[in-house]
Amino acid sequence: MHILIFSTDDHLYPAGGAENAMGEITKRIPDATFDLVCARLRKTASYTETVGNVRIIRVGVGIPRIDGIVLALFGHIIALRLHAQKPYDAVWSIMASYGAFAAVRVQRRTRIPFLLTLQEGDPIPDILHRVRFVRAQFNAIFKTADAVQAISHYLKRWAESMGARQVRVVPNGVDVQAFTATLTAPLHTETRASFGFQKDAFILITSSRLEKKNGVGDIIEALPLLPPTVVLVICGSGSLQQTLMRRVEELGIQTRVRFMGMVPMALLPQYLHAADAFIRPSLSEGLGNAFLEAMAARLPTIGTPVGGIPDFLEEGKTGFLCEPSNPHSVAEAVLRAQSLSNADRLRILDTASEVVRTRYDWDDIAREMHTMFTSLLHARTRS
């Protein structure tokens, strides 16, 4: 198989969740080759490079706000030239974003099968507001796609409401081996000590982009409602970082919060294993890979019943739920997690880790995606 991919960004570090998923899937389909047409976004990025079985072709000048538009308007021209040199068997768009507009044009010109992947984590009303001036073209993305991969039942329902055909839920996955590997006792002690808290601290951890949708501010607001031994480690960066830091100072809880910045993926499992519970009171979520990583690492996990989170997080069964935008509810969920008996803790952790192993392993997901591609090709042959 020779597959054309459209994506706003490439899948190299520090890729977002959707792009990382693309990278995990492509490297597990070795009998296929991929051409990835994406926005350049960074001036230091080369225009072309090959990583494994993926050839990356970047368009634009290295300015994100411009390059996304360039991809939407002109990405199909580059793709059609490449198709003339070596025909593609399918076109795959990562999210209904800039590249998807180009994917529609390629599909209409070539009639090759078009697979749309939905990974959107922003609230759907916000997405529809952003595309209000190109709503007809946006709607066409869903109606033109021959098949849709939605990473959650929440996104499946959205796709169907937009007129999409053949919508199938295939979630993102977790590097189960990386997140289940336990720390040695000395490394566990060393990592906890590196956070700078007292030995008896109950360490909450979140790995989140510091943006409104991830609700990190609600965790900070909840801390004064909790015992002083409850502390927070924040892994991630974003536009709200300075605002959140100022709020920590205003609340006088500087000794209870650590901002770690962007944490390399290789180090994240170590941090998770050194904590006592994971929390992210999201306002919206396409799926929520960070929750799955925490569950794989056998951490009590706290989230909100929004977006794709209910696909895997159940109160008292695989974790704990709190209300979005409600610090009091956040605090109550933390107290429930903190007060677990050893037996209940083991029961929840066993159930949660089993869910991750059986439903969210990248190898299984890559096989499902391979099946989706081959089904599209067979349908094309029959027609």
CATH placement of domain 176-359: 3.40.50.2000
> In which band, very low, low, confident or very high, does the pLDDT at 329 lie, cut at 50, 70 and 90?
very high
What is the CA angle 166-169-175, rounded to 5?
140
Half-sphere exposure at residue 287, Cβ-oriented, CA atoms within 13 angstroms: 24
What is the model's pLDDT at position 205? 98
Residue 383: partners with Cβ closer than 8 Å, 6 or more residues away: none
| Same fold yes or no, 2-173+361-382 and 176-359 | yes
pLDDT per residue over 155-176, tens digit each?
A: 999 999 999 989 999 999 998 8
Question: In this predicted model, which residue has the larger pLDDT, 68 or 16?
Answer: 68
CATH H-level superfamily of 2-173+361-382: Glycogen Phosphorylase B; (3.40.50.2000)
Say what the pTM is.
Answer: 0.91
Q: Please give the Cα distance from 156 to 29 (Å, whole number).
A: 24
The size of the chain, in residues, is 383
Q: How many C-beta atoms lie closer than 10 Å to residue 84's C-beta?
A: 9
Q: What residue ranges do the domains of the chain occupy?
A: 2-173+361-382, 176-359
